[in-house]
Amino acid sequence: PDEDGSRLWLRYPLVADRRLLDEYRRDLRYVVAPDTDGPLGSAAGELSRALTSLLGRDVPIRRKVDGAGPLVLRTAASDAGPESYTLRRGRVDGTAAVIITGGADRGALYGAFHLLRLVQTHVTLDRLDVAERPRNPLRLANHWDNLDGSVERGYAGRSVFGFAELPELTERHSTYARALASVGLNGTVINNVNANAQFIAPEMLFKLQPLAALLRGWGISLYLSLNFASPMILGGLTTADPFDAGVKDWWRTKITEIYRAIPDLGGFLVKADSEGQPGPISYGRTHADGANLIAEAAAPHGGIVMWRAFVHDFNALEWSNKAYETFKPLDGKFADNAIVQIKNGPIDFQVREPAHPLFGALPNTNAMMELQVTQEYTGQSTHLCYLVPQWQEVYGFDTHAEGSGTTVAKIISGRTYGRELGGVAGVMNLGDDTDWTRHQLAAANTHGYGRLAWNPGLKARDIAEEWTRQTFGNDQREVAVITGLLLGSWQTYLDYTNPLGVSFLIKGDHFTPSPQTNTGWHQADAEGTGFDRTVATGNGFTGFYHRPVSDRFENLSDCPDELLLFLHHVPYGHRLKSGKTVIQHVYDSHFDGAAEVGRMRDRWRELRGRIDAKRWADTAERFDRHREQAILWRDTIAGYYFAASRVLDERRSWVQV
Ligand code: GCW
């Protein structure tokens, strides 16, 4: 199984470095942990099994210190919170020990996985001194999995949960829970936001109980997506109006029933009045009214509701503005246990968007960010596109809402406005394919999402390298090549698919290049291209940002090149900061980007023989298809822009004559 990707990054092969192996064997002879279940018990079990395999000798669990080389797992309340931990050397009962101390059970579990990471990536424990705590309270997986097992925007097979077979659980369920816990995720919404109301029917609640219990053991709270019309669908009421007494009653009773089945359920996620989903607007109520209906029913049980801000009318002109215009006036009207869940950008997980203007616009409302780990618009499971650099750009975006330094990371963590609730949700890319993500390297996104949710300040290079070492081993050459492939891949993908911020150059499959399908987004004509979102002459979007961001976006001369055509309509001859004209940049980036994919493919091929045959071959096949697709993108976009502009490429002749 180590060679089919089924273990993700939870691989524990014998430590190859002899010197380190001796050190680890000396210091990690047995695990000391109280006899308990829950996350602390899971941590002890994981340490024992993993170290036994990594060190090639039995590393048992004992109840107390008894001889040299104990690895002590314990908890102690800490100012850094229950999810924090430290890893230190010290003495326990007079014996030199390696000590993992969690602020509580979850913290100890995260500390255990940290220690395993060090061993997996061959770091000496000599000067061990680690103190960690998560920056985001909520670190969630969001699955768009349907009751019938299909996955909306899933590219790696069917649902990992096996809804039809529940309550029966399999090894996959525990690997799933371990993988999430290993990167510090603490919750999962298991069903699609386009929600089937049957998920909260009594039969389903019964089926979900063992799954919830398994997840609980790994510190993961289960959450459910709700269909806002459930009172009608399940309850036979004639309305779902949040102000209707019968509707309120129905939700109170239903949510009490849900909590009776799953007492520690985290809460709910709702997509309302968006893309055909029911919601409060049809009853003349607001999104806050809708959210508060669920929030009030969940509050007595300690539950929360995450209410999505993703609303739009499928028309390019308003898409960037609708969510801001809808939610900004509702600031302060949401219940304390409600959170507005905002996609990273104002459109829809495009390859590059500016950060959503709602970040920093809701000082009196809990807010969290939604990222997309599944690569809907970023090459699905065919193109390699490592998204950690994209996410970091958003986390690091300075909204200037409370002066400079008011980054998105700070806002969603709750720190800017002193809010207890906040965090991040990632739309997952896992499926029932043996390797979970179909493209073996796409699991780096799953891992990177979790690591950044824990700490958005981590360096992309470190995260990529950590995953590579865990997944493929510590061979220097391999690590350098794979880390390099990951880190450059988003920029390369941008180069051949996203001219200066233009989005939606695709067919309805969100994969095939097709600039003629939705011309409203790029507005290319004979003279120029780009979408005017300025206040002066466009749809007014730039005005949603705080100064100086709004000025920088509004003024052509200050606007960053990479967002130019997202924010402005310009002539093809317009000069970028790089000195190139827009049209020449479009040609160059597409040709250079596609050529780079060819080199990526070659670099992977050079790893032949250094990586186990199956994972190498699977990935080599992905790179072949990736290269074909990149060429298709290049020719489609460059050709389209040539046809529109009739400006020749001054650097290359496209057809050899
Ligand atoms: O990204 C788009 C997708 C839809 C999705 C929707 C949403 C779940 O194309 O498939 O529906 O956004 O986020 O609600």
For residue 510, the ligand 1 atom closest to its alpha carbon is 9
Q: What amino acid is encoded at 161 in this protein?
A: F
Six-digit token string for 503? 């989005």
525 is catalytic: no
H or E element that contains 130: strand 129-132
> Is 657's pLDDT higher than 60?
no
Closest CA to 189 of 144, 150, 149: 144
Model confidence at 3, in pLDDT bands (50, 70, 90)? confident
H or E element that contains 602: helix 582-605
Q: How far is the CA of 316 from the centre of ligand 1 (A)?
A: 16
What does the pLDDT read at residue 639?
96
> Is 315's pLDDT higher than 60?
yes
> Is 504's pLDDT higher than 90?
yes
3-state secondary structure of 398: strand
**Quick one: CA dihedral 237, 240, 244, 245, positive or negative?**
positive
Using one digit for the tens of pLDDT, what is the confidence trace for 207-232?
999 999 999 999 999 999 999 999 99
> Is 421's pLDDT higher than 70?
yes
Q: Residues lining ligand 1, judged by CB closer than 6 Å?
A: 144, 152-153, 193-194, 271, 275, 310, 348-349, 376
CA angle 487/629/429 to nearest 5° reads 55
Model confidence at 408, in pLDDT bands (50, 70, 90)? very high
Using one digit for the tens of pLDDT, what is the confidence trace for 461-471?
999 999 999 99
Mean pLDDT confidence for 333-338: 98
Instruction: State whether CATH 3.55.50.30 applies to domain 18-132.
Output: no
Using one digit for the tens of pLDDT, what is the confidence trace for 136-159?
999 999 999 999 999 999 999 999
Model confidence at 1, in pLDDT bands (50, 70, 90)? low
Give the chain's mean pLDDT: 97
For residue 274, the ligand 1 atom closest to its alpha carbon is 14
For residue 192, the ligand 1 atom closest to its alpha carbon is 8
What are all long-range contacts of 118-122, with beta carbons under 8 Å and residues at least 24 apart? 118/87, 119/15, 119/24, 119/28, 119/50, 119/51, 119/54, 120/11, 120/12, 120/54, 120/469, 120/470, 121/465, 121/466, 121/469, 121/470, 121/474, 122/15, 122/17, 122/20, 122/469, 122/474
* Separation of alpha carbons 131 and 473, rounded Å: 26
Mean pLDDT confidence for 199-212: 98
In terms of pTM, does the model score above 0.95?
yes
Closest CA to 556 of 584, 575, 583, 579: 575
66 is catalytic: no
CA distances from 416 to 58, 140, 261, 333 (A): 48, 21, 36, 18
Q: What count of residues does the chain have?
A: 657
Instruction: State whether CATH 3.90.1330.10 applies to domain 491-531+569-645.
Output: yes
Among 142, 144, 271, the mutation site with the greatest number of ligand 1 atoms within 8 A of its Cβ is 144
Closest CA to 29 of 74, 56, 73, 68: 68
* Separation of alpha carbons 227 and 517, rounded Å: 31
Q: How far is the CA of 344 from the centre of ligand 1 (A)?
A: 13
Percent above pLDDT 70 for the chain: 100
Using one digit for the tens of pLDDT, what is the confidence trace for 11-57?
999 999 999 999 999 999 999 999 889 999 999 999 999 999 999 99
3-state secondary structure of 73: strand
Using one digit for the tens of pLDDT, what is the confidence trace for 251-263?
999 999 999 999 9
Using one digit for the tens of pLDDT, what is the confidence trace for 343-397?
999 999 999 999 999 999 999 999 999 999 999 999 999 999 999 999 999 999 9
Using one digit for the tens of pLDDT, what is the confidence trace for 81-116?
999 999 999 999 999 999 999 999 999 999 999 999
DSSP 145: B
Using one digit for the tens of pLDDT, what is the confidence trace for 231-244?
999 999 999 999 99
- The fold for domain 138-458 equals TIM Barrel (3.20.20)
Which of 105, 145, 296, 376 is flagged as catalytic? 376
Query: What region does 169 belong to: left with phi over 0, alpha with psi -120 to 50, or beta?
Result: beta
Which of 4, 132, 249, 348 is flagged as catalytic? 348
Name beta bridge partners: 75.
Answer: 102
What does the pLDDT read at residue 195?
98
- Please check whether residue 31 is in contact with residue 62, taking contact to mean a CB–CB distance below 8 angstroms: yes
18-132 and 491-531+569-645 in the same fold: no
- Helix, strand, coil percentages, rounded to 5, for the chain: 40, 15, 45
CB atoms within 10 A of CB 422: 22
For the chain, which residues make up each domain, given as ranges? Answer: 18-132, 138-458, 491-531+569-645
3-state secondary structure of 313: coil
624 is catalytic: no
What does the pLDDT read at residue 317?
82
Which of 58, 148, 275, 558 is flagged as catalytic? 275
Using one digit for the tens of pLDDT, what is the confidence trace for 622-646?
999 999 999 999 999 999 999 999 9
- Please check whether residue 506 is in contact with residue 514, taking contact to mean a CB–CB distance below 8 angstroms: yes
